[in-house]
């Protein structure tokens, strides 16, 4: 499989046969953040292993399941668990599910992730609306021959995250009493966390937070002119002058605690999205 336009179409047709009919919104749930799926009135669920072309998530904290159903009457596909560069997948594999969801007809994509806080004003457990990003991954999902049916050779990235959706998230956060920042996400390949010198470097080049996901999917959304927005849950504080060791269990615990806030603002925003 080369993750072509036709491959994405075939997988979309497979999902339609399984009962995924006319989803309006896609949602990608990141590390430790799959609880939003509980808000879905489920019509069907499929393990990734059963879906042609979907890689299997190799990370235990990522469930690896597609859930189709409704939230507040909106038809959604939620991907519980995503694929990362550090798992050894190609960028085309990582972003294949987004191509498939576009074939299914989604009008917007919401993403969540866990990230480390570099900006000293940010505290763990808080959320950040991603306003812009810095791509430090060693490869790009758009390399190779461009298929013009997906989008242009040189997609514009002047507003990679939909400003209207970001405003809806900011408003929802105020209404729900949730602290939300707006800032820049730097993506690295991982899987190791950063050294003190790397956190210092990331802060100096303009990153507010750092993580290992989301940007490939967002590039593909921009390629296909699919509006997207993404929220980071800040799971650790990355102060190079006072850095404490963290491990994945700390990150998962903090993500789990912040999940309630994330879910509340997602549920507040979803009915307000314009999905035409």
Assess 210 for contact with ligand HPA (CB under 6 A): yes
One DSSP character per residue, the chain reads: ----HHHHHHHHHHHHHTT-----EEEEE-TT-GGGGGGSEEEEEEEGGGSTTPPPP--TTS--EEEEEEETTEEEEEEES---GGGT--HHHHHHHHHHHHHHT-SEEEEEEEEEE-STT--TT-EEEEEEEEE--S--TT-SS--TTT--SS---SS-S-HHHHHHHHHHHHHHT--EEEEEEEE---SSPPPHHHHHHHHHTT-SEEESSSHHHHHHHHHTT--EEEEEEEEEE--TTSPPP--HHHHHHHHHHHHHHHHHHHHHHGGGS---
Interaction residues for ligand HPA, span 184-203 (CB under 6 A)? 193-194
Q: What mask of x and - would describe binding to ligand HPA in positions 78 to 117, judged by CB under 6 A? A: ------------------------------------xxx-
Assess 211 for contact with ligand HPA (CB under 6 A): yes
By Cβ distance, which residue is nearest to ligand HPA? 116
Q: What mask of x and - would describe binding to ligand HPA in positions 112 to 151, judged by CB under 6 A? A: --xxx-----------------------------------
Toward ligand HPA, which CB reaches closer, 32 or 151?
A: 32
Task: Give dist(CA 197, CA 76) in Å, integer.
Answer: 41
Q: Site for ligand HPA (CB under 6 A): which residue of 128, 212, 215, 268?
A: 212
Contacts of 171 (CB under 8 A, 6+ apart): none
Binding-site size for ligand HPA (CB under 6 A) equals: 12
Q: How far is the CB of 165 from ligand HPA (least distance, A)?
A: 23
Toward ligand HPA, which CB reaches closer, 11 or 113?
A: 113
CB under 6 A: which stretch of 70-78, 141-149, 166-174, 233-241 binds ligand HPA? Answer: 233-241
Q: Site for ligand HPA (CB under 6 A): which residue of 104, 231, 251, 262?
A: 251
CB under 6 A: which stretch of 36-44, 155-163, 220-228, 231-239 binds ligand HPA? Answer: 231-239
Of 191, 172, 155, 190, the closest CA to residue 231 belongs to 172
Assess 238 for contact with ligand HPA (CB under 6 A): yes
Assess 183 for contact with ligand HPA (CB under 6 A): no
Toward ligand HPA, which CB reaches closer, 219 or 238?
A: 238
Task: Give dist(CA 131, CA 159) in Å, integer.
Answer: 8
Toward ligand HPA, which CB reaches closer, 101 or 127?
A: 127
Binding site for ligand HPA (CB under 6 A): 114-116, 193-194, 210-212, 235-236, 238, 251
């Amino acid at each position: 499989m080369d993750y072509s336009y036709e491959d994405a179409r075939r997988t979309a047709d497979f999902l339609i046969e399984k009962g995924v009919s006319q989803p309006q919104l896609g949602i990608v749930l990141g590390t430790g953040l799959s609880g939003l799926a509980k808000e879905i009135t489920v019509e069907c669920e499929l393990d990734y292993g059963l879906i042609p072309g979907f890689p299997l998530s190799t990370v235990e904290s990522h469930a690896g399941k597609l859930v189709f159903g409704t939230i507040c009457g909106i038809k959604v596909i939620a991907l519980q668990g995503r694929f990362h560069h550090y798992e050894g997948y190609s960028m085309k594999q990582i972003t294949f599910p987004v191509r498939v969801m576009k074939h299914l007809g989604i009008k917007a994509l919401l993403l969540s992730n866990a990230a480390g806080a570099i900006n000293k004003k940010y505290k763990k457990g808080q959320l950040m609306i991603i306003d812009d990003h810095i791509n430090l991954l060693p490869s790009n999902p758009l390399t190779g021959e461009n298929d013009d049916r997906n989008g242009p050779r040189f997609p514009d990235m002047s507003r990679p995250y939909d400003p209207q959706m970001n405003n809806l998230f900011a408003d929802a956060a105020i209404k729900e009493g949730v602290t939300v920042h707006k800032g820049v996400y730097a993506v690295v390949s991982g899987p190791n966390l950063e050294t003190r010198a790397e956190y210092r470097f990331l802060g100096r080049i303009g990153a507010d937070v750092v993580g290992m996901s989301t940007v490939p999917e967002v590039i593909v959304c921009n390629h296909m002119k699919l509006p997207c927005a993404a929220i980071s849950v800040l799971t650790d504080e990355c102060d190079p002058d006072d850095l404490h060791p963290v491990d994945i269990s700390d990150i998962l615990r903090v993500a789990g605690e912040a999940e309630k806030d994330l879910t509340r603002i997602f549920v507040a925003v979803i009915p307000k999205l314009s999905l035409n």
